[in-house]
Amino acid sequence: QVQLVESGGGLVQAGGSLRLPCAAFGRTLSSYAIGWFRQAPGKEREFVAHISRSGISTYYADSVKGRFTISRDNAKNTAYLQMNSLNSEDTAVYYCAARGGLASLRQYDYSYWGQGTQVTVSS
């Protein structure tokens, strides 16, 4: 099975940017579709973006469309979430997840999860 490790979180001012890598270990990342999810304090975990195994197909939640970009570098066994124009509503723990089938916006479709990385946006 694959292990996922997110990094790149931290404190950023509103309007700023962060890039979150999701590194895969134990298996080749190209075997998996990748999804990014987030959970804000007191809220349920929600879908952010997903990318197909090849990287050709991507999909975004309306709340991040035009500001966030999901990508992957299968040669480096790493996926990314580039986040621009951050605002306080983006404050959350961000998780990457992997599944062997098609990419999905449903968290329950994903078998493998990272530990999460905290993103805090100050206004």
- pLDDT tens-digit profile of 42-71? 999 999 999 999 999 999 999 999 999 999
pLDDT of residue 46: 98
Segment 92-99 shows an average pLDDT of: 98
What is the phi/psi pair of residue 122, to 5°?
-95, 140
Segment 84-93 shows an average pLDDT of: 98
pLDDT of residue 101: 87
Indicate the average pLDDT of the chain. Answer: 97
Which residues have CB under 8 Å from 17's CB, separation 6+?
A: 82, 83, 84, 85, 86
Dihedral (CA of 74, 77, 83, 88) sign? positive
**Rg of the chain in Å (alpha carbons):** 13
User: What residues pair up with 57 in beta bridges, in sequence order?
Assistant: none
pLDDT of residue 61: 98
**Coil, helix or strand for 30?**
helix
